[in-house]
Chains A and B, each alone.
Chain A
């Protein structure tokens, strides 16, 4: 029980660190930790498959990609562009407004205050596979096309431009 609140606290803390750290490289590292706490959340929900995927895809692939780009562009604290304070405060206020709206909304809609039981088996690879390859087969195949497209697109965009005609 307390584990959830502890991990949740860690998530929020590292998320805040991610956006407030000046050095982009540190930002990425904090984000990795945030995602790690998310993995823990998934385990606590007994969503084992998601936990593994989150671990591999987000923390492994995507974060490495971010780091790789940062290094490729040789960005560090010195080159970091900063916004003026006014814009920062405005942004923070807007974000807080959004949060307040969310919380207010939750009060208004009055969910039945049930408890999340982490003991369902739906998150197991076997069950998830049955749903994914039966009910969601077409979206699954479509997402493969999406990934292929993204791959081609990324290569095309990042390629050094050949001599322009």
Chain B
């Protein structure tokens, strides 16, 4: 069965081609079936492969399998093959991408059914799945980079899906440009890897890297550049501003690309290259600081946002910051665990938000909602589960993953733990604020909206229920030892991080310390949840606060970061380009080009006299020419 690995990315590509080419001809139901079906088949294959990897792991092997498709580049002694790598890490990512991808395809069928770009939407989604699978499966950095670029492209296409709205298309452009900055980092890293190791294959680079001393300069460059790439794709400081704007896309896109899969590509990439990062402590510190700063900043912003999707977007940024914090303190398993659980509950929350928006006739402002509990029971219950999960209240999944990261952070430095804890409090607060503003209290929308309220069709509620179940029980994958768990995920992934474990300081906390940490964070989260429920549960007017404080304004205006970038980067660039336009383009290049043109016009006017229309003259010239050519030829033999 493992030989069929190439089918996993191929099927979505086929789906993309069929749906893309047939979007005008095929009926909507068929497009939906093809689009979801290919992903479902990929998911089933992924399940089987995951089973095989598990069996290998149980048998005590490393569980890695390379599938070489063909030699791609072969120059001198530099060889690059188009090959896929199946190992515990990628098999889990496969499950996330295809599994959640399938659910979101099903959801999209209900959500987008009345959109005229239905076929286009499904083909883009399939293309996205294809590139994401390339990214996950690639056995070297270049294939990963292809997927990396490809998902960026799909993200651009889907954010700007309703391209007729110029705000949306500029949001798409913003996302694309921000991603490009990161991609440049990735490219530089790839070049540096070639220069340092002479290869891009993971299987060759990592063993070689393991021989390097701690803090090697080449590794520092590579890892810093890879991290720049990750900040772009995974929306970290200072490149995170594109993610909230990316909410312009249809909600299923936000759930799939901007919550569950693409934005976690950076974490996946760093977890994949864990040995490089472990050997560069400076980069690890940078990652930790950036991660925690992003987590806190985004959490603060999320507290005051009123757009339901914006809250979730900032929440995503904040959770990604947590994952980077985990990576930075060496909790690779924990970070990946959080990727996994976050994919469940954030996809759930986005899809739930989509369901709400659908019911509210595209109203996204939470101040206009309220009291939807009665009308949307399934959405309410599933979103409640998601909210509890993300807030880190046991025994739902978010608690376990967040706890593991926080425990590692505490082990690295208690300061990190405190900061992370504050972030977790904010998370609990803004998520319950969202829940209570949406579902509790009195309905604040218009009469028309109230009349229109309805539960979503089964295509939309089914994924919600599945994801709710996963969010609830996902944490059981990796129950820490302190709670009597087997740390199954850590064991399963251990061959991927084997090199790192050999180098890094082993993680150790006494059980009593862990209990205290868990208790504190649980009590904090529950307290914040109750506080938020009290504060916003009985909201009656659409005006949230009478007198906005300074901090409130700061948070509401997203710390003025967009404005800051505008002043620091955009305006100077604008001015510079105007100068270039006037001085170099108009004055230099244009004049040069015009001079060339005029030269040919004038010389043409002169030479045209020879073209006098007398055939005899032409023949005469031809003979002269032949003589000249022959003379030239024989004089220069």
Contact = CB atoms under 8 A, between A and B. Distances in A.
Do A and B touch, yes or no (CB under 8 Å, in the complex)? yes
Interface of A: 83, 87, 90-91, 94-95, 97-98, 101-102, 104-105, 108-109
Contact of A94 (B627, B630, B633): B627
B620 A94 contact: yes
A97 to B, nearest CB: 5
A104 B634 contact: yes
A91 B634 contact: no
A112 to B, nearest CB: 17
Contacts of B616: 83, 87
Contacts of B21: none
A67 B630 CA distance: 36
Contacts of B483: none
16 contacts: A90-B620, A91-B620, A94-B620, A94-B624, A94-B627, A97-B623, A97-B627, A98-B626, A98-B627, A101-B627, A101-B634, A102-B630, A105-B630, A108-B634, A109-B634, A109-B637
A98 to B, nearest CB: 5
Given A87-B616, A108-B637, A95 B630 contact: no
A13 B357 CA distance: 101
Interface in B584-637: 616, 620, 623-624, 626-627, 630-631, 633-634, 637
A105 B616 CA distance: 26
B634 A105 contact: yes
A90 B621 CA distance: 11
Nearest to B622: A94
Contacts of A97: 623, 627
A94 B637 contact: no
Interface of B: 616, 620, 623-624, 626-627, 630-631, 633-634, 637
Contact of B631 (A83, A90, A94, A101): A101
A101 B630 contact: yes
A80 B14 CA distance: 76
B620 A98 contact: no
Nearest to B633: A105
A90 B586 CA distance: 52
A102 B629 CA distance: 12
Contacts of B623: 94-95, 97-98
A73 to B, nearest CB: 18
A105 B636 CA distance: 11
Main secondary structure of the interface of A (DSSP, over half): helix
Nearest to B628: A101
Contacts of A101: 627, 630-631, 634
Given A94-B627, A98-B623, A104-B634, 17 more contacts: A83-B616, A87-B616, A90-B620, A91-B620, A94-B620, A94-B624, A95-B623, A97-B623, A101-B627, A101-B630, A101-B631, A105-B630, A105-B634, A108-B634, A108-B637, A109-B634, A109-B637
B613 to A, nearest CB: 16
Contacts of A87: 616
Contacts of B634: 101, 104-105, 108-109
B39 to A, nearest CB: 53
B401 to A, nearest CB: 74
Contacts of A94: 620, 623-624, 627
Nearest to B637: A108
Contacts of A83: 616
A108 B624 CA distance: 20
B482 to A, nearest CB: 86
- Across the A-B interface, the 4 shortest Cβ-Cβ residue pairs: A108-B634, A101-B630, A94-B623, A105-B634
A101 to B, nearest CB: 5
Nearest to B630: A101
A90 B626 CA distance: 16
Contacts of B637: 108-109
Contacts of A98: 623, 626-627
A87 B624 CA distance: 14
Nearest to B631: A101
Nearest to B620: A94
Nearest to A106: B634
A108 B634 CA distance: 7
B378 to A, nearest CB: 74
A59 to B, nearest CB: 26
A83 B633 CA distance: 33
Nearest to A108: B634
Contacts of A105: 630, 633-634
A99 to B, nearest CB: 10
Nearest to B635: A108
A132 B436 CA distance: 94
Contacts of B631: 101
A97 B634 CA distance: 14
A29 B538 CA distance: 118
A136 to B, nearest CB: 28
Nearest to A100: B627
A81 to B, nearest CB: 11
B421 to A, nearest CB: 85
B336 to A, nearest CB: 67
A87 B615 CA distance: 13
Interface centre among A94, A95, A108, by most B CB within 10 Å?
A94
A95 B624 CA distance: 9
A5 to B, nearest CB: 27
A109 B635 CA distance: 11
A132 B633 CA distance: 34
Nearest to A83: B616
Nearest to B624: A94
Contacts of A95: 623
Contacts of A108: 634, 637
A2 B626 CA distance: 33
B635 to A, nearest CB: 9
A90 B619 CA distance: 12
A149 B634 CA distance: 39
Contacts of B626: 98
A83 B616 CA distance: 10
B630 to A, nearest CB: 5
A108 B632 CA distance: 12
A91 B627 CA distance: 13
Interface centre among B623, B626, B627, B633, by most A CB within 10 Å?
B627
A87 B616 CA distance: 10
Contacts of B630: 101-102, 105
A102 B620 CA distance: 17
A91 to B, nearest CB: 7
A102 B630 CA distance: 8
A118 B624 CA distance: 36
A83 B637 CA distance: 38
A112 B291 CA distance: 86
A95 B622 CA distance: 11
A43 to B, nearest CB: 32
B130 to A, nearest CB: 47
A91 B620 CA distance: 7
Nearest to B621: A94
